[in-house]
Amino acid sequence: MGLVDDILKGDEKSAARLITRIENGDREAYRDLSLLFPYTGKAHIIGVTGPAGAGKSTLIGRLALAFSGQGKSVGVIATDPSSVNGKGAFLGDRLRMKGAEERNVFIRSMAHRSYPGGVARAAAAAAYVMEGLGKERIIVESIGAGQTDKDLFFLCDTVITVFTPEYGDEIQLFKAGLMEIGDIIVVNKSDTPGADDAAREILLVSQRMTRSNGWNVPVLLTDSQGGAGIDALVEAVEGHWRSSGQKGRTERKADNVEAFMMALLKEELWREISARVTAGQTFREVAREVRSGRMDPYSAVRKILDELEPKWTSR
């Protein structure tokens, strides 16, 4: 219980140690995590997604400092693949440069290796640990592509999607996918040409999308280098969380944690079963049949499932 107690007292070194153990797939670390779990569920977890180079890290630096300037305790989790090759440290440097460390911002970068169980699992664990530390705002950076990223958003209460004026209509589809998950859309680099037009165009697309909860997704312009528009963004982030009401917030967290459980279950089931299945005689025989064109893949899968223990399958 020592490590967990220290984390609950706010000891960041202990927190860092536990996160590292989770990253390494240490099963005992998950026991510590479940001791922390009763203390979670209070922080406002904010996801920041968007294309590479849109300015997510710079924006997060601004947000983190704005929140800490309000006296709030802040955690930052960077999970974007482009943090590989030391760019994750770039976010840290950026924040440190501005005195973030003295201002109670705890930063953790997690994209520098492949984790047993995936980045989303490690990032979720890091968020729980940060909540244990008493962080009130936790900001998660992510690149906005792939399943890992989707899983990550099961963690977030408010999602900010970041675009820049460079992203024109040729990637509407990409935009639409990212826009769906955003509760707030930011057109960053408002100091560069075309920002107003981009914001207008994105607003039109956004207005055509219906939201179940009645929240009107704002489209905001920011210059995260110069600082313009950051106050309005902070206000929108807080506004989104306030407007959900206590009931809405509790519900979203409940939906999130259930969805995250499902994602973990899928992953574990696959890991547990696939090794057993592919090592089996039936799999090898059926695979040979499929390869030679003597059996279709649908029948092949059915045959493999039928050979599994009945409790695993629907019949």
Q: How far is the CB of 181 from Mg ion (least distance, A)?
A: 17
Q: How far is the CB of 228 from ligand GTP (least distance, A)?
A: 8
Give the end-to-end CA distance of the chain in Å, rounded to a whole number. Answer: 45
Given 73, 161, 188, 206, the residue binding ligand GTP (CB under 6 A): 188
* Contact between residue 43 and residue 51 where contact means Cβ atoms under 8 Å apart: no
Which residues are at the interface with Mg ion (CB under 5 A)? 56-57
Q: How far is the CB of 304 from Mg ion (least distance, A)?
A: 42
Helix (H, G, I), strand (E, B), or coil: what is residue 23?
helix
Q: Taking CB within 5 to 8 Å according to partner kind, which of ligand GTP, Mg ion, none is near residue 195? A: none
Q: Rounded CA gap, 306 and 315, in Å?
A: 8
Other C-beta atoms lying within 10 Å of the C-beta of residue 116? 12
Question: Residue 80: what residue type?
Answer: D
Given 58, 68, 142, 161, the residue binding ligand GTP (CB under 6 A): 58
User: Which residues have C-beta within 8 Å of that of residue 200, sequence separation ≥ 6?
Assistant: none
Q: Rounded CA gap, 213 and 244, in Å?
A: 8
Q: Does 108 bind ligand GTP (CB under 6 A)?
A: no
- Judged by beta carbon, residue 44 or residue 56, the one nearer ligand GTP is 56
Choices 31-39, 188-196, 251-259, 288-296 (CB under 6 A): range interacting with ligand GTP: 188-196
Burial class (CB in 10 A: 0-12, 13-18, 19+), 219: buried
Given 5, 24, 52, 313, the residue binding ligand GTP (CB under 6 A): 52
Question: How many residues are listed for the chain in this entry?
Answer: 315
Site string for ligand GTP, 135-174 (x = CB under 6 A): --------x-------------------------------
Q: Does 80 bind ligand GTP (CB under 6 A)?
A: yes
Phi/psi for 211 (5° steps) reads -115, 140
Write out the residues near ligand GTP by the rule CB under 6 A.
Answer: 52-58, 80, 82, 87, 143, 188-189, 191-192, 223-225
